[in-house]
Amino acid sequence: MEFVELTQDGAVALVRLDRPPVNALSSEVSAELLEAFKACEDPSIRAVVVTGQPHFAAGADIKAFKEVLDSGSKEMSATALLDAVRVLDNLEKPTIAAVHGFALGGGCELSLGCDFRYMATDAKIGQPEILLGLIPGAGGTQRLQRVVGFQKAKDITYTGRQVGAEEALAIGYADKVLPTDEVLETAMEDARSYASMATVALAAAKRALAAGWDGTLDEGLQVEHEGFHTTFATEDAVEGVDAFVSKRKAEFKGR
Q: What is the pLDDT of residues 55-71, one digit of tens each?
A: 999 876 666 655 555 55
Of 176, 195, 214, the position where a domain reaches its end is: 195
Question: Is 103 noted as a catalytic residue in this protein?
Answer: no
Same domain, 237 and 123: no
Question: Is 109 noted as a catalytic residue in this protein?
Answer: yes
Structure confidence at residue 68 (pLDDT): 52
Same domain, 159 and 80: yes
Same domain, 172 and 209: no
Q: What are phi and psi of 80, to 5 degrees?
A: -60, -45
Q: List the catalytic residue out of 11, 13, 47, 60.
A: 60
Same domain, 224 and 128: no
Q: List the catalytic residue out of 129, 165, 191, 227.
A: 129
Question: Is 235 noted as a catalytic residue in this protein?
Answer: no
Q: List the catalytic residue out of 106, 126, 220, 254.
A: 106
Residue span of the structural domain in which 206 resides: 199-246
In a domain, 253, yes or no: no
pLDDT digits 0-9 by tens, 118-133: 999 999 999 999 999 9
Structure confidence at residue 79 (pLDDT): 81
| Domain count across the chain | 2
Strand partners, 178: 120
Same domain, 28 and 146: yes
Question: Is 72 noted as a catalytic residue in this protein?
Answer: no
Stretches where the chain sits below pLDDT 50 are 73-76
Structure confidence at residue 76 (pLDDT): 47
CA distances from 210 to 23, 132, 205, 206, 217 (A): 29, 32, 9, 6, 11
CA distances from 47 to 53, 74, 125 (A): 20, 40, 24
Q: List the catalytic residue out of 36, 109, 120, 208.
A: 109
